[in-house]
């Protein structure tokens, strides 16, 4: 399976770091790249082909940067996963897809389930916020394969301990979500 990983926001945070913790200055772009890079290693170990691209240009809006959607569609990837960190003070994980009833919804559910199962034992406050349709997200709208955008936790809540201390668990959970999805496709 060809897996395209898109850590959210601009590489190196320039010009867009995503959300930033107001006290410790932890940045979404850095966390997302950490999770994406680790996740790619686990997926390759599981036999997947992986491309990873973190770029300020999602769908042609910033031509000075490589285009994420074009790269995923041109490969073409079998699945697309955009990795993010939330802000706003909530708790837990949520995973977006174009349509919860489609293959992207299945992929979203696989990843969401693994994240919650992996992280909630460390902190019962880490909530399952569910899978949600969000067809206007351009990486979900314009990719031609099942695609999800996973929000792994909140940078400005007690989730920050999980985000910083359990990045490897987050990466493994996303990878297991992908292999769960692949196993579902392979099952008769």
Q: Kind of pairing, strands 147-154 and 93-97?
A: antiparallel
Least distance to Zn ion from the beta carbon of 47, Å? 29
Please report, as residue ranges, which positions from 71 to 90 form the binding site for Zn ion (by CB under 5 A): 84
The set of residues, in sequence order, having a beta carbon less than 8 Å from that of 85 and lying 6+ positions away, is 8, 18, 19, 28, 31, 32, 151, 152, 153, 154, 155, 163
CB-nearer residue toward Zn ion: 103 or 108? 108
Least distance to Zn ion from the beta carbon of 6, Å? 10
Contact by Cβ (8 Å): 153, 114: no
What distance in Å separates the CA atoms of residue 135 and residue 103, rounded to the nearest whole number? Answer: 14
Q: How many CB atoms lie within 10 A of CB 84?
A: 25
What distance in Å separates the CA atoms of residue 75 and residue 166, rounded to the nearest whole number? Answer: 31
Judged by CB under 5 A, which stretch of 1-9, 61-69, 114-122, 153-161 contacts Zn ion? 1-9
Does 8 participate in binding Zn ion (rule CB under 5 A)? yes
Q: How many CB atoms lie within 10 A of CB 140?
A: 23
Count of residues engaged in binding Zn ion, rule: CB under 5 A: 3
Least distance to Zn ion from the beta carbon of 9, Å? 6
Binding mask 13-52 for Zn ion (x = CB under 5 A): -----x----------------------------------
Least distance to Zn ion from the beta carbon of 155, Å? 9
Which positions touch Zn ion (CB under 5 A)?
Answer: 8, 18, 84
């Amino acid at each position: 399976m060809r897996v395209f990983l898109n850590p959210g926001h601009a590489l190196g945070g320039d010009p867009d770091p995503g959300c930033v913790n107001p006290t410790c200055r932890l940045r979404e772009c850095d966390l997302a790249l950490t999770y994406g890079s680790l996740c790619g290693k686990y997926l390759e170990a599981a036999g997947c082909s992986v491309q990873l691209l973190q770029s300020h240009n999602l769908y042609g809006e910033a031509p000075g940067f490589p285009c994420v959607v074009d790269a995923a569609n041109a490969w073409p990837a079998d699945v697309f996963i955009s990795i993010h960190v939330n802000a706003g003070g909530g708790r837990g994980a949520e995973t977006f897809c174009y349509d919860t009833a489609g293959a992207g919804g299945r992929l979203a559910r696989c990843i969401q389930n693994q994240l919650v199962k992996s992280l909630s034992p460390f902190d019962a406050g880490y909530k399952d916020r569910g899978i949600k349709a969000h067809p206007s997200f351009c990486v979900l709208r314009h990719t031609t394969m099942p695609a999800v955008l996973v929000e792994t936790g909140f940078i400005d809540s007690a989730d920050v301990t999980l985000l910083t201390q359990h990045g490897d668990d987050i990466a493994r959970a996303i990878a297991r979500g992908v292999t769960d999805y692949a196993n579902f496709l392979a099952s008769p």
